[in-house]
Structure 1
């Protein structure tokens, strides 16, 4: 829906990709530096938890407002103002000392992120042709993942050598990449450039008017409900993994970094591997089924990891889990961009981001509470089982949504063949179509 009709604007995609990579690196650099600084200053778990909550809650609470801003205000204006505001907040953070002030400033920083995320996400589909969207999504996924990898590593080095102030000053500079991107990107949306309803639908068959509502699209509702449910179910692994690797498997900090890095490397591989498949899956129903299969593969790898006797064996298992994670990220971006009218994409991406972040908060809370009553190995297995159960619960409504999607256009397969094909798709751990 409302992709560019001319050649894809890869220069603009490159600018968005660079801005996302640099700003993501800055986000993780600041978060890691502040966590280390609070711990070193003697702050307790409550302060660190407050920091994590402050960095996440605005992304959930402001999602509806941020989505509307992304659709109704000029994207250039939003990127420039938000980037300058976040840079200013980081400058103040560099000299803030009291934990309460630090937490308040982090919440302000996250409020800016709540705006820039849907702006950048909604811009990308407008820059490229429909067939080039998977590649563009993979590029953005790669930039964000590399930024997430580099940020904590830089924080560890810089905080150890120079304290927390230098990383925060560098983070302030990183937000200027958003300002530069806003000024240099030729593609713009929102404001007076708000696109009218598309007269020619894209590859999807969802709503194509500015009256779009998420609840009216069963496929997108199923996708967002699934990812939120899975993240809430398995999100505790982010809290449990350090205890599982360091205490249960008796591994070093170096091995901990290697294991967690394996999942991230898998995300990079999966993004590019499944970008090619996403381009060939022109049917939205099949794309959603493939998405469920990839998420199920991630949960299965988490479940298998609970049985390993040593941390070294976790590396290939988590690498495969990351591959599924990266592919699922590309699939959900492509499905959302196909089915949502251009004028509503800011709201759609904000809804997706808010659901993911809200589910992450649930996972973090559950992880901390469950560690008090169960061993890490049991919790890792429980996360995998819980994720698989969530996916099993959404399979029936997904099948109904796919069939309802196909019925009006008059091209459903024969009932027997349809049932067999659907069953085969759902039974396949990783799609090979």
Structure 2
């Protein structure tokens, strides 16, 4: 049964959702790149650039409670159709606005809508990919997301010079059309929702929201581990992203083109690592892989602080990107296996809120750190922090816990025998 499931095809709407992530992430990448270039060309100051990144992260924290409730209580099609239409309308409106403050506010509105839509998509993918298919589905979505963000910035820079900011934002608005289009391909009612409807009375609404999601993540030990590791990883990588340009350009004496290649090599490594992890974790526990990949990223960051060879840095960033991509799949697989379907939306939204909280904290502190500490010590400190935290998480959770896939396997077995 396991081998058959492993070699089986993913549901068509899972592939469609992965395609939606690819297209929309490419649109986001080209839009944020064009906005950054436009703000730079107009000389509106570095605070506006910080505002752009804050607008991309903060709404996922603010709307986490709403996102969890929507994902767990409403069918995906019902939630995504209006959200997709709103995304298109807001982005279309941005194309005809030039005031930086208004552009940042509308970008925050876009991010808020995506913060609600993303948990719905993720829950749909996990619910439609039981057992060994779950890691493959997570890998497909992760690879599509990484590919979208790999293509987007390059296309955005080219389009900005060719058609201007308005043209880029109109293209971004067109990419958001995939959200309502994919929503029409989804089942009218999810299996989890039908099961919940038959098992509970109408007077007993399901628990959902940010607090409920946090409780679920804390209660499930496998989920708690990967969430702690993932939050630390998000924080340290955001810090190093800010100073990466100084490390490559100043310490390694490399050109702007080489800096762009380093970023592309990392993204390519993410795609490679996601694909490999999706296959390997189909029949294996994802927790050991999550721990090992974080250790690998920590070692790579610490090593980058002492290297002096640019080719060696390329190889190191490829390996670190692969480890980061593999961790993303291991984390998503662990969450999917550890959390019951009726709680996955809230758990995913709470997890996203934690990740974006770490990102905002990193953004607010990285500017100060970059002025006080050289890039190499920052890289070394980031790597050491990851290694220390991974060791701490391992020591704290040494007691055996129930197998993370037990809930999912029991459900699959019940479905087969019924």
- TM-score tier after normalising by the smaller chain length: 0.7 to 0.9
Question: What residue is the counterpart of 2:402 in the other structure?
Answer: 405
* Partner Cα separation in structure 2 for residue 214 and residue 387 of structure 1: 20
* Partner Cα separation in structure 1 for residue 153 and residue 145 of structure 2: 13
Deviations along 1:393-414, one digit per CA (max 9) or x if unpaired, are 21112223xx1436xx9xxxxx
Question: What residue is the counterpart of 1:341 in the other structure?
Answer: 340
| 8 Å CA contact 2:64, 2:352 repeated in 1 | yes
Show the 5 A alignment for 1:58-73.
58-73=59-74
Question: What residue is the counterpart of 1:86 in the other structure?
Answer: 87
* Partner Cα separation in structure 2 for residue 186 and residue 276 of structure 1: 26
* Partner Cα separation in structure 1 for residue 192 and residue 73 of structure 2: 5
Show the 5 A alignment for 1:59-208.
59-186=60-187, 188-189=189-190, 193=194, 195=196
| 8 Å CA contact 1:63, 1:354 repeated in 2 | yes
Question: What residue is the counterpart of 1:380 in the other structure?
Answer: 379
| 8 Å CA contact 2:76, 2:186 repeated in 1 | no
Question: What residue is the counterpart of 2:362 in the other structure?
Answer: 363
- Select the residue among 246, 253, 257 that pairs with 2:249: 246
Residue 84 of structure 1: how far off its partner (Å) = 0.8
| 8 Å CA contact 2:60, 2:356 repeated in 1 | yes
C-alpha spacing 1:295/1:191, structure 2 compared with 1 (3 Å): closer
| 8 Å CA contact 1:8, 1:128 repeated in 2 | no
Deviations along 1:199-238, one digit per CA (max 9) or x if unpaired, are xxxxxxxxxx999833221221222122112322342101
| 8 Å CA contact 1:71, 1:346 repeated in 2 | yes
Deviations along 1:145-165, one digit per CA (max 9) or x if unpaired, are 110011101110011122111
Deviations along 1:54-105, one digit per CA (max 9) or x if unpaired, are 1110012211220111111221121111111011111111111111111110
Runs of 4+ deviating beyond 6 Å: 209-212
| 8 Å CA contact 1:126, 1:187 repeated in 2 | no
* Partner Cα separation in structure 2 for residue 197 and residue 190 of structure 1: 11
Question: What residue is the counterpart of 2:349 in the other structure?
Answer: 350
> C-alpha root-mean-square deviation of aligned residues, in Å?
2.2
The size of the alignment, in residue pairs, is: 386
* Partner Cα separation in structure 2 for residue 194 and residue 109 of structure 1: 33
> Where does the alignment leave 5 or more consecutive residues of structure 1 unmatched?
199-208, 410-433
Deviations along 1:187-206, one digit per CA (max 9) or x if unpaired, are 743996464699xxxxxxxx
> Where does the alignment leave 5 or more consecutive residues of structure 2 unmatched?
200-206, 407-418
| 8 Å CA contact 1:15, 1:185 repeated in 2 | no
C-alpha spacing 1:325/1:252, structure 2 compared with 1 (3 Å): same
Show the 5 A alignment for 1:280-319.
280-281=283-284, 283=285, 287-319=286-318
Deviations along 1:245-297, one digit per CA (max 9) or x if unpaired, are 1122111111011111111111111111122221121x4xxx32321111110
C-alpha spacing 1:234/1:385, structure 2 compared with 1 (3 Å): farther
| 8 Å CA contact 2:77, 2:187 repeated in 1 | no
> Equivalent residue of 1:163, what SS?
helix
* Partner Cα separation in structure 2 for residue 333 and residue 232 of structure 1: 18
C-alpha spacing 1:312/1:343, structure 2 compared with 1 (3 Å): same
Residue 27 of structure 1: how far off its partner (Å) = 1.3
* Partner Cα separation in structure 2 for residue 188 and residue 265 of structure 1: 36
> Equivalent residue of 2:170, what SS?
helix
* Partner Cα separation in structure 1 for residue 189 and residue 39 of structure 2: 40
* Partner Cα separation in structure 1 for residue 320 and residue 125 of structure 2: 26
Deviations along 1:376-427, one digit per CA (max 9) or x if unpaired, are 1221112111221121221112223xx1436xx9xxxxxxxxxxxxxxxxxx
* Partner Cα separation in structure 2 for residue 280 and residue 311 of structure 1: 38
> Equivalent residue of 1:405, what SS?
coil
Deviations along 1:357-386, one digit per CA (max 9) or x if unpaired, are 211222222321111111112211121112
Residue 310 of structure 1: how far off its partner (Å) = 3.3
Question: What residue is the counterpart of 1:226 in the other structure?
Answer: 229
TM-score under structure 2 length normalisation: 0.87
Question: What residue is the counterpart of 1:236 in the other structure?
Answer: 239
C-alpha spacing 1:230/1:145, structure 2 compared with 1 (3 Å): closer
